[in-house]
Amino acid sequence: MPGRIGVVTFPGSLDDRDARRAVRRAGGTPVALWHAEEDLHGVDAVILPGGFSYGDYLRCGAIARFAPIMRVVVDGARDGLPVLGICNGFQILCEAHLLPGALIRNVGRRFGCVDQPLIVGNAATAWTSAYTSGQRIVVPLKNGEGCYLADERVLDELEATGRVVARYAVDDEHPDPNGSARAIAGVCNPDGTVVGLMPHPEHAVEALTGPGQDGLGFFTSILGAVPGVLAGR
């Protein structure tokens, strides 16, 4: 039985179908999870997908963190359950205090959708082991509130402990997309099991429909990590 990866659908989730497709393309078994159920159906890992949960009319992710499913996600994460939050999912993880910091409105104050080059900062997490540290990958980035902020002490600690999972590669052709502190695109918890990522690797899993297949590694990584994670619990 290949790894069973749960993908939560909140009201307003949009990239849930794409995340399930990415799991499938990576060789895993996607399992649809419903926000109102306090049940993980025995999955090996969980993805909180992108979208606008509850419309994000309040602070992004601020309502979703109180969904019944989040109780079991938070409890599971504290026990080592791997969780990947993509975009809105990252915002939810921050609101749920599984990850430090917050995501606020882009400095340009506009929604932006670009093919974004990233530099992988930590290739030792449950979700990034298929990459090498320092590897440059291109993954779509699309958000209105993707500016990552945390206080200086937290940022220093994240950097010192290797918890910056990916940064935006900024150069002449690729301007700073959203003003994130220290160009941070993604961070993880101290164990490397919970990862929040603003860009969308699920939109880069086949050349036909994305800028390439650079995003597939996030999903193959977790499928490789799952048995080990389970054995450790």
Task: Please tell me the distance from the alpha carbon of residue 139 to that of residue 137, in angstroms, as a whole number.
Answer: 7
Give CA–CA dist 195/192, Å, rounded. Answer: 7
Tally of CA atoms within 13 A in the half-sphere of 31 that contains its CB: 16
- From the candidates 94, 147, 200, 203, which is the catalytic residue? 200
Looking at 75-83, 120-128, 140-148, 218-226, which segment touches other proteins (CB under 8 A)? 140-148
Residue 87 designated active-site: yes
Q: How far apart are CA 233 and CA 221, in angstroms?
A: 18
Confirm if 196 and 95 have CB atoms less than 8 A apart: no
**Residues 97, 110, 153, 233: which binds other proteins (CB under 8 A)?**
110
> CB of 95 within 8 A of CB of 59?
yes
CA nearest 5: which of 18, 23, 22, 17? Answer: 23
* Sole window of 66-74, 119-127, 138-146, 162-170 interacting with other proteins (rule: CB under 8 A): 138-146
C-alpha torsion sign, points 141, 145, 147, 153: negative
**Torsion over CA: 190, 141, 112, 183 (sign):** positive
Determine the size of the site formed for other proteins (CB under 8 A): 29
Counting contacts by CB under 8 A, is residue 142 touching other proteins? yes
Site string for other proteins, 51-90 (x = CB under 8 A): xx-xxxx---------------------------------
Radius of gyration in angstroms for the set of CA atoms belonging to the chain, rounded to a whole number: 16
Nearer to other proteins, 9 or 193 (CB): 9
Q: For residue 202, indicate whether it is catalytic.
A: yes
Whether 174 sits among the annotated catalytic residues: the reply is no
Strand pairing partners for 76?
none
95, 188, 202, 203: the catalytic one is 202
Stretch that binds other proteins, among 104-112, 121-129, 163-171, 181-189 (CB under 8 A): 104-112
Among the listed residues 12, 100, 179, 212, the single contact to other proteins using CB under 8 A = 12
Point out the residues that are catalytic.
Answer: 87, 200, 202
Residues in contact with other proteins by CB under 8 A are 11-12, 14-15, 17-18, 21, 36, 50-52, 54-57, 110-114, 140, 142, 144, 200, 202-203, 208-210
